[in-house]
Structure 1
Amino acid sequence: MKDILNRPHDRVTLKNMQSDWLSCLDNKVGFKGFAVPKESQAKVAEFSFRGTPAKIKHGDVVIAAITSCTNTSNPNVMLGAALVAKKACDLGLEVKPWIKTSLAPGSGVVKKYLDKSGLQKYLNQLGFNIVGYGCTTCIGNSGDLDESVAAAITDNDVVAAAVLSGNRNFEGRVHALTRANYLASPPLVVAYALAGTVNIDFEKEPVGISKDGKEVYFRDIWPTTDEIAEVVKASVLPDMFKGTYEAITKGNPMWNELPVSASTLYPWDPKSTYIHEPPYFKDMTMTPPGARPVKDAYCLLNFGDSITTDHISPAGSIHPDSPAAKYLKERNVERKDFNSYGSRRGNDEIMARGTFANIRIVNKFLKGEVGPQTIHVPSGEKLAVFDAAMKYKNEGHDTIILAGAEYGSGSSRDWAAKGPMLQGVKAVIAKSFERIHRSNLAGMGIVPLCFKAGEDADTLGLTGHERYTIQLPTDVNEIKPGQDVTVTTDNGKSFTCTLRFDTEVELAYYTHGGILPYVIRKIAAEQ
């Protein structure tokens, strides 16, 4: 309960949080790095919030959300958060009005026991009103910040923070304007909302000032284990769970009134911007395509370490200047109705345009510039990644991706493999892969290759401006899981990689052009 996280597998103890944060300001741009010059780290940006003078600086919290399908299922931490709120309210503490606060439990049971305890009113008083039950801030659905706050952050290049009790917080996922995103327990979310900054030592610095002018510290609002246990025992009752889950299949009037087609086949609506008939089976035959050569391929993107599935296939908001936004505008969708990539994942046209569209992605081609663009090597043009990918496809060129370690870490989302496939990516050459993402790439017919130990694109002198030929056997019977594969470039370089089709089944997916055609052919053959 007393730890705060930056990635699910990177734990920062609460006592070290402030020093860790300060080091992030110094670090180069990337994971846990913002490269803020020393002379600018204490800069204060002044703005007007709804007519009231306000200030914001690096590390200030602008989003505080109790959310998650997992974290909020624990009554101890949820009622613990409510007790923090009660103690804070009793002392007269408040959350700054420009901090966007919300409470989104994963289950309606939470509301029942918060109401039973009488503590929900204190969460409401601090702004943690229930906004719904399901995916919200954790997947980028917090909504826009107030325009004045957004302008203050953008105009002054402020590294603003979000603190949430979700289970994912990869770059660009929570909100486009919060570069620092921390995962914490629900009680800690309330504490950081009250403090208004992650740049605080809770042991030595006050969280706020009480109504009688005294300094209030973290220890003054943090409930004891016994206090939490007492309210859990009195408020969390078996009938709450029974009543909620017995009614779960009954739905609600809006859901139950949705019109449903009686057809056994889905009636695709060509005008829909949410659900679109995908191209996976277009021109498919019963004969598998077999091994496909990757010859003279261009490098679409050149990455370093820790590229996550959120970098590859963001689930958050759709940026107004993105290819996906252009697609929606062309179909008369207003910006207020763009929604998010996560909500439009039934439309392959949007998801292909959203692939590598993360606003915090770092591509070596851009030499320090951050954002979803790349260089179209033949022309030297800087383009949105999707536009560059389509330009290569239209020119008849294959593409590959160069990457560092832990490529594809994070949520195991299938679109992080489907999207590159739709963009025309034929192979990914990385130092290492996250297990599930590597398997997903194989399932989409993309060749996963690993550099040999001690080697990567930099040590081999690869800039990404080369053209790559992957010398896989043309006879599928000669391809074996884990075999060595030679990669050559048009400027005379040659290096050996390990083929990361790890099973015969993955090889079968590859020879069929992916798992989807493989399954269809298998079903059709059994009819």
Structure 2
Amino acid sequence: MASLDSFSCKRTLTAAGETYAYYDLKVAEANGLAGVSRLPGSLKVLLENLLRFEDGKTVTKADIEAMAEWLTTRKSTHEIAYRPARVVMQDFTGVPAVVDLAAMRDAATKLGADPDRINPQVPVDLVIDHSVMVDNFGQADSFAKNVEREYQRNGERYKFLKWGAKAFDNFRVVPPGTGIIHQVNLENLAQAVWTKDENGETIAYPDTCVGTDSHTTMINGLAVLGWGVGGIEAEAAMLGQPVSMLIPEVIGFELTGKLPEGATATDLVLKVVEMLRAKGVVGKFVEFYGTGLDHLSLEDEATIANMAPEYGATCGFFPVDNETLAYLTATGRDDKRVALVEAYSKAQGMFRPDYDADPVFTDTLHLDMSEVVPAVSGPKRPQDWIELSNASAGFARIMESEYGKGDELDKSAPVEGEDYDFTNGNVAIAAITSCTNTSNPSVMLGAGLLARNAVAKGLKTKPWVKTSLAPGSQVVTDYLLRAGLNDDLDALGFDLVGYGCTTCIGNSGPLPPAISKTINENDLVATSVLSGNRNFEGRISPDVRANYLASPPLVVAYALAGSMKVNLATDPLGQDQDGNDVYLKDIWPTSAEIAEVVRTSVTPDMFAKRYANVFKGDDAWGGIEVSGGLTYAWDHTSTYVQNPPYFEGMTMEPESPGDVVNAKIMGLFGDSITTDHISPAGSIKADSPAGRYLQERQVPVLEFNSYGSRRGNHEVMMRGTFANIRIKNKMLDGVEGGYTLKDGKQVDIFDACMEHQSEGTPLVVFGGKEYGTGSSRDWAAKGTRLLGVKAVIAESFERIHRSNLIGMGVLPLQFEDGASWEALGMTGDETVTILGIEALEPRAVMTVSITFPDGTVKTAPARARIDTENELEYFRHGGILHYVLRNLAAS
């Protein structure tokens, strides 16, 4: 904690008979920080953090004063060092983080340092939720079979994580089958106000976190400031390094009115995503305020906060209010904690509506929630909002614009062994999945009520639809059972398949073989409808091209309709027992019906019971035996966990990063290249470099698992970098997949990069706008580095990926003055030189020199997107982990 207190603001408060020390913002305002009571709530959290950690070195008085100066400019170029209270991780991104920590212990030993110094310095919770796949569905035993298969696939990884929980201090693991990380965080781990015993007193401060999943932002619905960072950045935070950041702009989003009959929280968030993407909020905080908050449940707010990565913001923050206190109580938090949250928030001016009347924002926008209508988003971006009544016409349009198949809208083909055809636009996957919506009882119970009404009418799911229900926590099962709605969902094929992030992360599992064969042999455009937050190309299923986000009730409705060409607003879903047409309006539950079943079915005892032994796990978890030790006993035959090469040959003094001279171009990419394009999480193709690597090690194709599950093995992940089946390297004409040109020939990107490395040739990558959107996937940066890429030059970067590239020692450069690789007339045959890297300063404008095959040289200005001195220090060390390791070894 702080060794200085320049504004003499350390005070005490009492709540429920307990006394706490805290850093009083109102006193700090009176002692020199004029006006800070008008800061947005999210910036008040940052200000408190700086006051508490003021040490004259990492946090200075000038840093704190810059928070007050923000009120005048409403934006800032001032860099601050922010220290979150805790870190949360899921297993896809958590496994490589723990692998890196284990590798750092080995490296520390080689450098002559104590390996026990490599320990989390703040609490870390890892929730295993990304490894369950929907192999089995539509049957009563689907859950049991999927869990059994999960342990078969992931035994090596789970053994490694269990070792980590034993070997590292401050590190806990929530076992498989408990729930999705963000819902577990919301329902149990988060406290809204955190406490720590230090020097004989208990200090109270805002609960804050960073997480290795981009949807960590969900916790902002509970007034916990949190956002996603790459595993690299998270590891540094765990090891006591501050998160280096500029004081952000804060966009105020005023909500008024209330949702109309028939609209859901999902419909609201899809509209918010569309509005904020159009506004442009990348790298900014968004803060919600206004009278509309009075008509939203905390779960509704968490739904909106969850999708901050989709609207591009660092976070979407909601203040503490009476709904926050009610939710903490309803989910079984300790009464004293709830009392502290209320007392602390009111004392700090963080309790709505205390600051709601007169906040200062960089800019604002407004939405009257009464104007929200049912909607979906697709076919490949969360911001592609479509009013439900226009969704079928929208699909017809994208058949021409996206797939060039406008004249094949009604093309179909028979499915072998079945009595039906599969047609363009058919829904192949209907999944109630993802943290976004499965945390919200109103939409989950709404889906159950719609299922009940559909079953009563005699409606059935179309036979070609793969249905699944993957709740975010076991509590969802409890309240569906109490409401008596589970049987109705089961009757339509929405049987429980697992507690975890399934379809949304690409763990949808295989389609039935006959349907997959029909789709691929006839080049049909299959669709999916999921209640998730991500619908990027190639993410949901390799067999499905068009993916749509929708509320859980609409997922059920589309399973009944069976096709995106059905207009749910006007076309029948099917016929009842008497042959009468049944429309969506006939089975849609009213808001009053949903509210009543929520009131009677969701109770505090459910949360208390389910989370009483949250770290214990089932018998399968208990049966995993591990041996202790400070360092990990690496199994060199493992195809899941390997010691990464980042620290090979590392010395105490860093080498200069050096200039990039005569680099070859590995890829030319367009706009909106996602981290999923760069490092896919889903299935591994047998004929891909990663597939060949696994087969060479006697891993059968059926046991490939996914890229996400193998993130602990750099050999697999290097081969999977830029290997998304839908990525388009524009060095090649119209080709999809992970290919590039080497000596004029089309080859796999991995193979080309290894040849370039053996020849000593540096590589660069060019991109368009919004390079690196999507998940906080550290392997998108790690793989880029290991392939030998020295710099990525793009028109703009998404926040997390930019930071991750720096964290791996890769230089991100952003074109200036409207330049682009396309405007320069590049084809990929050029060579690239970037000088002045050794003398680099934050945000310096550099010159990218491009030599064409005929000897012509063109130059373009590009700004180094190394934004802060801390980031520059990481880059000079070759990455953030190298910087931390050297500092620990030196001390």
Gaps of 5+ in 2: 1-263, 265-373
- The answer to whether the Cα contact below 8 Å between 1:451 and 1:496 also exists between their aligned partners in 2 is yes
Aligned twin of 2:404: 35
Out of 711, 714, 730, the position equivalent to 1:345 is 711
Superposition deviation, residue 26 in structure 1? 1.5
Report SS of the residue matched to 1:242. helix
1:64-118 deviation line (CA, Å, top 9, x unaligned): 1111123101111111001111111111111122211111111001111111111
The one-letter code of the counterpart of 2:622 is N
Amino acid at match of 1:386: F
Aligned amino acid, residue 844 of structure 2? Q
Is 1:493 the equivalent of 2:865? no
1:129-144 equivalence runs, <5 A? 129-144=495-510
Structure 1 position 47 matched with structure 2 position 404: no
SS in 2 for 1:248: coil
Contact map agreement 1:402 1:464 (CA 8 A) in 2: no
1:47 partner letter: V
Within 5 Å, give how 1:350-389 maps onto structure 2: 350-376=716-742, 379-389=743-753
Contact 1:301–1:401 at 8 Å: present in 2 too? Answer: yes
Query: Do 2:672 and 2:773's aligned partners in 1 also have CA atoms closer than 8 Å?
Result: yes
Alignment match of 2:823 (pick from 459, 470, 477) = 459
Q: CA deviation at 1:489?
A: 2.2
Looking at structure 2, the residues matched to 143 and 501 of structure 1 have their Cα atoms a distance apart, in angstroms, of 39
Pick one of 512, 515, 524 that aligns with 1:146.
Answer: 512
Q: Partner of 2:758 in structure 1?
A: 394
User: For 1:83-122, what aligned pairs fall within 5 Å after superposition?
Assistant: 83-122=449-488
Deviation sequence 1:175-232 (CA, Å, 0-9, x none): 0010101111111110111110112221221111212111111111111101111111
User: Deviation of residue 473 (structure 1)?
Assistant: 4.2
Cα RMSD, aligned residues only: 1.2
Equivalent positions of 1:266-281 (< 5 A) are 266-281=632-647
Could you state the TM-score of these two structures normalised by the residue count of structure 2? 0.57
- How far residue 291 of structure 1 moved from its aligned partner, in angstroms, is 2.8
The residue that corresponds to 1:441 in the other structure is 805
Q: C-alpha separation between the residues in 2 aligned to 1:55 and 1:428?
A: 46
Tell me which amino acid in the other structure corresponds to 2:876.
Answer: T
Secondary structure of residue in 2 paired with 1:436: helix
Which residue does the alignment assign to 1:421? 785
Aligned counterpart, 1:519: 884
Is the Cα–Cα contact under 8 Å of residues 290 and 510 in structure 1 kept in the other structure?
no
Deviation of the 1:47 alpha carbon: 2.1
Determine the C-alpha separation between the residues in 2 that align with 1:151 and 1:170: 22
| 1:11-90 mapped onto 2 (5 Å cutoff) | 11-27=385-401, 33-36=402-405, 38-48=406-416, 51-90=417-456
CA distance in 2, matches of 1:276, 1:471: 35
**Cα offset, 1:10, TM superposition:** 2.9
What letter corresponds to residue 483 of structure 1 in structure 2? Answer: A
Amino acid at match of 2:403: F
Counterpart residue identity of residue 511, structure 1: R
Aligned to 1:167: 533
Q: Which residue of 1 aligns with 2:593?
A: 227
1:125-181 Cα distance to aligned partner (Å, 9 max, x none): 111100110021111112111111011100111110011112222111110010101
Query: Quick check: 1:318 aligned with 2:690?
Result: no
Determine the C-alpha separation between the residues in 2 that align with 1:365 and 1:4: 34
Q: Describe the SS at the equivalent of 1:326.
A: helix
For residues 61 and 513 of structure 1, the distance between their equivalents in structure 2, rounded to whole angstroms, comes to: 47
- Rounded to whole Å, the distance in 2 between the matches of 1:133 and 1:423 is 35
Alpha-carbon offset, residue 370 of structure 1:
1.6
- 1:479 maps to what in 2? 840
Q: Report what 1:4 is aligned to.
A: 376
The residue that corresponds to 2:662 in the other structure is 296
State the secondary structure of the residue aligned to 1:194. Answer: helix
Q: Report the AA paired with residue 514 of structure 1.
A: G
| Alpha-carbon offset, residue 316 of structure 1 | 0.7
* Larger deviation, residues 379-388 vs 2-11: 2-11
CA contact (8 A) 2:832 2:850 kept: yes
Q: Is the 8 A contact 1:72 1:105 kept in 2?
A: yes
What SS class does the counterpart of residue 105 from structure 1 fall into? coil
Deviation at 1:336, TM superposition (A): 0.9
Q: Secondary structure at the match of 1:366?
A: coil
Give the aligned partner of residue 227 of structure 2.
none
Q: What residue identity is the alignment partner of 1:34?
A: Y
Mapped partners of 1:184, 1:218: distance in 2: 15
Q: Percent identity?
A: 53
Contact 2:816 2:862 (C-alpha < 8 Å) held by counterparts: yes
Encode CA deviations 1:317-368: one digit per residue, 9 max, x unaligned. 1112111111111111111111011111111111111111100111111211
CA contact (8 A) 1:63 1:162 kept: yes
SS of the residue 2:686 aligns to: coil
Q: Which residue of 1 aligns with 2:52?
A: none
Give 1:236's aligned residue. 602
AA paired with 1:501?
I
Measured in 2, the distance between the counterparts of 1:453 and 1:197 equals 45
Cα deviations by residue, 1:410-441 (Å, 9 ceiling, x for unpaired): 11111111111111111011010001111111
SS of 2:435's equivalent in the other structure is coil
SS at match of 1:259: coil
Deviation readout 1:431-475 (Å, 9 max, x if unpaired): 10001111111111111111113221111112221010011243x
Q: Which whole-Å CA distance do the structure 1 matches of 2:842 and 2:396 have between them?
A: 45
The verdict on how the C-alpha distance between 1:34 and 1:124 changes in structure 2, with shifts beyond 3 A counting, is same
Name the SS of the counterpart of 2:670 in structure 1. coil
Between the aligned partners of 1:16 and 1:91, the Cα distance in structure 2 is 26
Cα deviations across residues 21-77 of structure 1 (Å, max 9, x unaligned)?
2221111xxxxx2221x32222122223xx332111221100111111231011111
1:253 matched to 2:253: no
Give yes or no for contact 2:675–2:774 (8 Å, CA) kept in 1.
Answer: yes
Query: Would you say the 8 A contact 2:527–2:544 is kept in 1?
Result: yes
Report if the CA contact (8 A) 1:344-1:351 is conserved: yes
Aligned equivalents of 1:227, 1:453: Cα separation in 2: 56
2-side partners of 1:152 and 1:344: how far apart? Answer: 30
More displaced stretch, 404-413 vs 283-292: 283-292
Q: Secondary structure at the match of 1:53?
A: coil
Q: Distance in 2 between matches of 1:456 and 1:324?
A: 32
Partner of 1:409: 773
Q: CA separation in 2, counterparts of 1:70 and 1:487?
A: 41
Aligned to 2:168: none
Contact 1:261 / 1:267 at 8 angstroms: preserved in 2?
Answer: no
SS in 2 for 1:35: coil
Cα distance between partner residues in 2 of 1:312 and 1:465:
21
**How many matched pairs?**
513
The equivalent of 1:30 in structure 2 is none
Q: Is the Cα–Cα contact under 8 Å of residues 66 and 105 in structure 1 kept in the other structure?
A: yes
Q: Deviations over 1:341-400 (max 9, x none)?
A: 111111111111111110011111121122221111xx1121111111112112211111
Query: For the residues of structure 2 that align with 1:175 and 1:169, how far apart are their CA atoms?
Result: 10
